[in-house]
Amino acid sequence: MEKQYPVSYSKEGGFVIHKGDGTIRRFIKSDCGLFYLDVAKNRKRENASNDTILINTVANNQSKYTVKEYRMAELARKVQCMIGRPSTKDYLDIVDNNQLRNCPVDRNNVSAAENILGPDVGSLKGKTVRESSDQVVHLRTNIPPQLYERYKDVSLSIDIMFINKVAFFMTRSKSLRFGSSEHIVSRNHETLLTCIKKLRSVYRLGGFRITHIDSDKEFEPMREKFAGMKIHLNVASDDEHVGDIERFIRTVKERV
């Protein structure tokens, strides 16, 4: 409010808005802590009979419907949220064409919900686009030469992580401590090899090369393919684990 009009504060806890035409609007603090404008007193004080405030409330809209109609309108809004908050137009098409099996509401209930409760806020948020986007700034971090000299050859620890039965290919370099994750739809050798090739390109972009990989026995059949990429594979025995990558996976799961 202070950005639009001059505001002065009183000792009683209220504040006064000074408008450009010389009139004022006095806001009083209620018992619950909110500030409100007494329209009747303000009109008598200023003798401004042309001031009108119209407020459209849910209670006023609800009074136009029966108790059953209002309950069905609430149910229609609940169903709209459950099926992913489609727009009112799409929601009506779903109801009219019986695309939702055993749907408990009809077109009239959807229209009543729109009239009583207004548009669904979640639907509006999901379909609101940005007016302008921020300019992309390209930043490059200069890697100290000592890192190139000492850690140019990278040793990776790799494993498969599952979260809610969704698989991710996880890697972590031992010296650089650079971790990565990639969602995979299957655990076949071709998919995993593609992940390794992508990751090798990322390291090459920074001036590093992958020379060693530590893993469990799941990756043993890929030893020959890794050798073709000039990568040495070290597989843990049955009673051993690759502790570095397992700790990294545990940390990621805790964050999730």
pTM over 0.95: no
Give the pLDDT band (50/70/90) at residue 210. very high
C-beta separation of 185 from 240 below 8 A: no
Q: Is the pLDDT of residue 45 over 50?
A: yes
Domain 145-251 fold is: Nucleotidyltransferase; domain 5 (3.30.420)
What pLDDT does 54 receive?
A: 61
Tell me the domain boundaries of the chain. Answer: 7-46, 58-126, 145-251
pLDDT > 90? residue 161: yes
Structure tokens at 56: 């459209």
Q: What is the mean pLDDT of residues 193-211?
A: 91
Q: What is d(CA 197, CA 152) in angstroms, rounded to the nearest whole number? A: 17
Taken as a whole, the chain contains a residue count of 256
- Is the pLDDT at 226 greater than 70, yes or no? yes
Q: Hey, which residues does 180 pair with through a beta bridge?
A: 171
